[in-house]
Amino acid sequence: MSTMPFAAPASVLTVMAHPDDAELWAGGTLARCSASGAAVTIAVPRHTQPGRDAEAAAGAAILGAALHEYDHPTAAMLRELLLAIRPEVVITHPLRDVHADHRTLAEALVTALPDVVIATGHPRRVYTADSYNSLTLDGAIPAHTIIDITETYEQKRRALAAHASQPITGHFGPMAETLARLWGSRIGVTHAENFVPLPVLGRLPAAPAL
Tens digit of each residue's pLDDT (9 = 90 or more) over 52-95? 999 999 999 999 999 999 988 899 999 999 999 999 999 999 99
Share of the chain above pLDDT 90, in %: 89
Superfamily of domain 11-198: LmbE-like (3.40.50.10320)
The pLDDT tens digits of the residues spanning 83-130 come to 999 999 999 999 999 999 999 999 999 999 999 999 999 999 999 999
166 three-class SS: coil
**If we measure between CA atoms, which residue out of 201, 43, 16 comes closest to residue 103?**
16
Residue type for 77, please?
Answer: M
What is the Cα–Cα distance from 192 to 148, expressed in whole angstroms?
4
C-alpha 200/C-alpha 197 separation (Å) is 9
In the chain, where are the structural domains located? 11-198
Mean pLDDT computed over 9-34: 97
- Whole-angstrom distance, CA of residue 35 vs CA of residue 55: 21
